[in-house]
């Protein structure tokens, strides 16, 4: 492990998490936003459902770890919500079990530290038209927005019961008129435009979480090695240096 130690933000979930550091993904955007403030750690597993996630909780989040994360962002639900396969194989998890699995994840994370914060991402919608193209490669592929909404609503309800912050991805991604084509690369996984919406919603939660102390919003967190230095670039007046520690003019998007 390298120093100095920073707060750890862990992204835990299925493919929408695993792919979040590519293609202008939301994970890479968070890593840029929190540069010199927190380390964004990826624990994403393509194709996973909540049933597989609960089996590895102790491996990914051991209770006896010397350092616990400051924030864990959790996403499972898209694969769970797929219709059941006649063979009994596949990622489908019945809705009551999905809710129970997500509850187990939440309670495990809460048990790690009194200061650990949690954000759940609910099941997003899909572009059903494009999914028909991909269905030729799979057997009995059933993934509809009707099912996605049921799992999204169930996740949101659970979060309210457990007092956990949640981002309603099902609604958030549909706030733009052409969401089906703009938000996804293949009808399921997020495009750069879709990821921007996810980042915006996560930052909104962090900004409005006034009951969290210390605040985990990027503007409120200390910047590592932010002191002025005579080795910084010299200003136009030739008499002083300019501290670049918090410069963000190079960002593709300017975040609140």
Query: For residue range 110-119, what is the model confidence (pLDDT) as tens digits?
Result: 999 999 999 9
Catalytic hit among 81, 152, 189, 195: 189
pLDDT digits (tens, 9 = 90+) for 148-206: 999 999 999 999 999 999 999 999 999 999 999 999 999 999 999 999 999 999 999 99
Task: Count other Cβ atoms within 10 Å, centred on residue 127.
Answer: 18
pTM above 0.85, yes or no: yes
- Peptide bond preceding 214: is omega within 30 degrees of 0, i.e. cis? yes
Please compute the mean of the pLDDT values over residues 138-148 and round it to a whole number.
Answer: 87
For the chain, the maximum distance between any two Cα atoms, rounded to a whole number of angstroms, is 75
Edge-to-edge strand ranges of the sheet holding 165-167:
39-44, 8-13, 71-75, 117-121, 165-167
Q: Which of 58, 163, 186, 228 is catalytic?
A: 186
pLDDT (tens digit per residue) in 82-98:
999 989 898 999 999 99
186 labelled catalytic: yes
Burial 150-170 (b: 16+ CB within 10 A, else e): bbbebbbebbeeeebbbbbbb
CA 243-246-247 angle, to 5 degrees, is 85
Spot the catalytic one: 14, 28, 31, 50: 14
- List alpha helices for 175-224, DSSP H: 179-182, 192-208
If you compute the radius of gyration of the chain from its CA atoms, what whole number of angstroms results? 20
Q: Where are the alpha helices (DSSP H) in 47-86?
A: 50-55, 57-60
Q: Which residue has the higher pLDDT, 256 or 182?
A: 182
- Band the pLDDT of 23: cuts 50, 70, 90: confident
Report which of 120, 137, 252, 255 is spatially closest to residue 188, judged by C-alpha positions.
Answer: 137
- DSSP assignment letter at 246: T
Q: Is 14 a catalytic residue?
A: yes
């Amino acid at each position: 492990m390298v120093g100095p130690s920073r707060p750890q933000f862990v992204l835990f979930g299925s493919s929408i998490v695993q792919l979040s550091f590519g293609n202008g993904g939301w994970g890479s955007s968070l890593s840029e936003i929190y540069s010199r403030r927190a380390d964004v750690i990826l624990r994403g597993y393509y194709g996973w459902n909540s049933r597989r996630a609960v089996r590895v909780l102790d491996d990914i989040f051991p209770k006896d770890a010397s350092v616990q994360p400051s924030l864990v962002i959790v996403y499972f639900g898209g694969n769970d919500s797929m219709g059941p396969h006649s063979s009994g194989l596949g990622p489908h998890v019945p809705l009551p079990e999905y809710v129970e699995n997500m509850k187990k994840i939440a309670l495990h994370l809460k048990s790690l530290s009194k200061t650990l914060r949690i954000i759940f991402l609910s099941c997003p919608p899909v572009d059903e038209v494009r999914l028909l193209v991909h269905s030729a490669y799979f057997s009995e592929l059933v993934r509809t927005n009707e099912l996605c909404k049921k799992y999204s609503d169930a996740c949101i309800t659970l979060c309210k019961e457990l007092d956990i912050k949640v981002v309603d991805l099902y609604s958030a991604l549909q706030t733009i008129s052409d969401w089906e084509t703009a938000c996804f690369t293949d009808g399921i996984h997020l495009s750069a435009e879709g990821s921007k919406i996810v980042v915006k919603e996560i930052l909104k939660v962090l900004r409005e979480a006034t009951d969290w102390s210390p605040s985990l919003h990027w503007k409120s967190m200390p910047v590592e090695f932010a002191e002025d230095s005579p080795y910084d670039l010299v200003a136009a007046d030739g008499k002083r240096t300019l501290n670049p520690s918090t410069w963000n003019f190079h960002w593709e998007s300017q975040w609140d």
